[in-house]
Amino acid sequence: MRLNGVEDTRAFGRFLGEKMEPYDVLALIGDLGTGKTTFVKALAEGMGLSSDVTSATFTIVNIYQGELPLYHFDVYRLKDDMEFFEMGGEDLMDDGAVCAIEWADRIEASLPEDYLALYFKRIDETTRSVRIEGFGARGKELEREVMRYENSRL
């Protein structure tokens, strides 16, 4: 999927936010500046959360309460899966909230069976591409939703 600017990223995030259910996990993978945090801010909007979403780089996880809570992880500073486990990350993923995990490739062994991976890549200053891959039944269901969204934009 091609995202032509910040507004495309926001629209995509809001769309996916409206589709979220308890225990959904989004694995966000991509270099710095590829739009992962912008996407999570819009995801929260789509979920009906009014909190001001900020980067979780220094706190590892920010929790946004709502009818359906959002746990926003940024695991960039973690060394490995063991450190994620020790900080209670796996327990948080089993808490019934939606989990959006930036740099999820660093804790791949800790991801559940069902999740949606979003691979963000910079094309130029404003354009990004996002490759989507669903794992497990729910991940595949979300992947199909994203394909429908992408087809509706064409």
Q: What is the pLDDT of residue 153?
A: 78
pTM: 0.92
Given this model, what pLDDT does residue 23 score?
A: 97
| pLDDT digits 0-9 by tens, 126-140 | 999 999 999 999 999
What's phi and psi for 95, nearest 5 deg?
Answer: -100, 0
Q: What is the DSSP string of 58-119?
A: TTSEEEE-SSS-EEEEE-TT--SHHHHHHTTHHHHHTSSSEEEEETGGGGGGGS-SSEEEEE
Residue 27 has a pLDDT of: 97
- The pLDDT profile of the chain, 154 residues, written as one tens digit per residue, is 999 999 999 999 999 999 999 999 999 999 988 889 999 999 999 999 976 776 655 678 889 999 999 999 989 888 788 888 888 888 888 899 999 999 999 999 999 999 999 999 999 999 999 999 999 999 999 999 999 999 887 6
